[in-house]
């Protein structure tokens, strides 16, 4: 299978998801599924400007593949360190989980960005 066949459009569903991630992590608890989280989020009133369809896409297409994989290990980690983690470090972890869940982003970072970045020049 070529890389192009593994790519999806899920990345676009969660662009700029940091504030929403914080709210969703606050609402999430171990054992809560994506569908359960959607129900909680809809009832919470924390997303008043977002349509139910957009909130569903955000949770099912972005939050779940990033944070509720591997037994929800990413969500568990983020919840555990959130209070003591600087904002930039939190954002970096979110980026890593996003790149893991969205192969097109991970491939871009590995094959285009890093090889052409001055930060890694020897």
Distance separating alpha carbons of residues 11 and 99, to the nearest angstrom: 9
Q: Give the model's confidence band at 91: pLDDT under 50 very low, under 70 low, under 90 confident, else very high.
A: very high
Q: Judge whether residue 86 has pLDDT over 80.
A: yes
pLDDT digit string (tens) for 44-83?
999 999 999 999 999 999 999 999 999 999 999 999 999 9
Domain membership of residue 83 as a residue range: 3-120
pTM score, two decimals? Answer: 0.85
Count how many domains the chain has: 1
pLDDT, mean of residues 31-53: 96
- For 103, residues 6+ apart whose C-beta sits below 8 A from its C-beta are 3, 6, 7, 8
């Amino acid at each position: 299978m070529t890389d192009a066949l593994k790519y999806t459009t899920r990345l676009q569903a969660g662009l700029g998801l940091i504030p929403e991630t914080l709210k969703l992590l606050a609402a999430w608890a171990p054992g809560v599924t994506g569908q359960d989280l959607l129900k909680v989020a809809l009832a919470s009133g924390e997303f008043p400007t977002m349509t139910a369809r957009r909130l569903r896409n955000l949770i099912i297409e972005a939050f779940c593949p990033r944070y509720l994989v591997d037994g929800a290990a990413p969500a568990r980690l983020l919840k555990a360190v959130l209070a003591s983690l600087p904002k930039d470090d939190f954002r970096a972890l979110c980026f890593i989980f996003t790149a893991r869940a969205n192969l097109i982003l991970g491939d871009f970072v590995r094959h285009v960005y890093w090889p052409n970045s001055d930060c890694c020049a020897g």
